[in-house]
């Protein structure tokens, strides 16, 4: 089945130790998104790629960066994780030509910072 896959599902890192979360998709979608969702909060868009074009949200901290080496993969790098970065990180994809707004989400990676 075509899908959005996130690895790992659970990640524990130490305060200040760089961590990378990965997302892959078999849907061949143009657009890939990274969201941060803290407990009982709304998912918040960090950035998205439209093909190779990177789009950063204005309030996304510099501590968060992303790479998209090809259509299928997208990575979220947190350079120096703080305790406040503990959250669920959701990857999503969409086709530009699709029903407006419809995105396909992965199961998420829950990040714990110790």
Partner 1 sequence: DQQVKQNSPSLSVQEGRISILNCDYTNSMFDYFLWYKKYPAEGPTFLISISSIKDKNEDGRFTVFLNKSAKHLSLHIVPSQPGDSAVYFCAAARNYGGSQGNLIFGKGTKLSVKP
Are the C-beta atoms of 76 and 67 separated by less than 8 Å?
no
Min dist CB 82 to partner 1, Å, is 23
Site for partner 1 in 6-65 (CB under 8 A): 33, 40-45, 48, 57
From candidates 19, 90, 111, 113, binder to partner 1 by CB under 8 A: 90
Min dist CB 16 to partner 1, Å, is 29
Are the C-beta atoms of 106 and 92 separated by less than 8 Å?
yes
For the chain, the first-to-last Cα distance in angstroms comes to 36
Peptide bond before 8: cis, by omega within 30 degrees of 0?
yes
Give residues in contact with partner 1 (CB under 8 A).
Answer: 4, 33, 40-45, 48, 57, 90, 92, 94, 96, 99-108
């Amino acid at each position: 089945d075509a899908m959005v896959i996130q690895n790992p599902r659970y990640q524990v890192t130490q305060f200040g130790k760089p961590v990378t979360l990965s997302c892959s998709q078999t849907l061949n979608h143009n657009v890939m998104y990274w969201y941060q969702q803290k407990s009982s909060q709304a998912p918040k868009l960090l950035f998205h790629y439209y093909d190779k074009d990177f789009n950063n949200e204005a309030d996304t901290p510099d501590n968060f960066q992303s790479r998209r080496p090809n259509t299928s993969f997208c990575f979220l790098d947190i350079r120096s994780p703080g305790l406040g970065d503990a959250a669920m990180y959701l990857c999503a994809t969409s086709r530009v030509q699709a029903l407006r707004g419809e995105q396909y989400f992965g199961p998420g990676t829950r990040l714990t910072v110790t």
